[in-house]
Amino acid sequence: MFKNGIGKKLWIIPDCELPEAGEGVLKGHESVIVVNDNDEDVTIKVTLFFSDKDAYENIEWKVGAQRVRCFRMNNPDDMSGYVVPFDTQYAMKLVSSGNIVVQYGRLDNRQTNLAYYTTMGFSE
């Protein structure tokens, strides 16, 4: 029997900005953590929105059934080859083939007093 997982199919993360690696052992990064509670794999289409250029739509993620995956914005392999620019304000839209739960995190380590925060994306 197919289990339709918890979560939503449409998510928006409005406050993205990839920091450079910074100082210290922990390196600056952004990540999106996706939980797929479905009995089937999901495919996620990712769109990046910028204030000064056209949206970028050629990013696709896959998350296995009953799995969690962390996608790092500073890893082009996680971004379908796209290199996210550092220190640039952008937003992200995720459209999934099944219900998912999405959390965003940023570690900003451009100074010794690092800042780390996570937030849930907005879902519709």
**Total number of domains constituting the chain:** 1
The span from the CA of 114 to the CA of 108, in Å, is: 6
C-alpha span between 61 and 77 (Å, rounded):
10
- Answer yes or no: is 33 within a domain: yes
* % of the chain surpassing 90 pLDDT: 63
Residue 103 pLDDT more than 50?
A: yes
Is residue 1 situated within a structural domain?
A: no
Token pair 């996210």 in the structure block, residue? 84
Q: 87-101 pLDDT, tens per residue?
A: 899 999 999 999 999
Instruction: Answer whether residue 55 is part of any domain.
Output: yes
Question: What is the DSSP pairing of strand 29-36 with strand 67-72?
Answer: antiparallel
119 vs 68, which has greater pLDDT? 68
pTM: 0.88
Residue 35 lies in a domain: yes
Domain of 34, CATH number, reads 2.60.290.11
CB-based contact 93:10 (threshold 8 Å): yes
DSSP 8-state class, residue 79: T
pLDDT at 73 over 50: yes
CB atoms within 10 A of CB 55: 11
- Average pLDDT value over all residues in the chain: 87
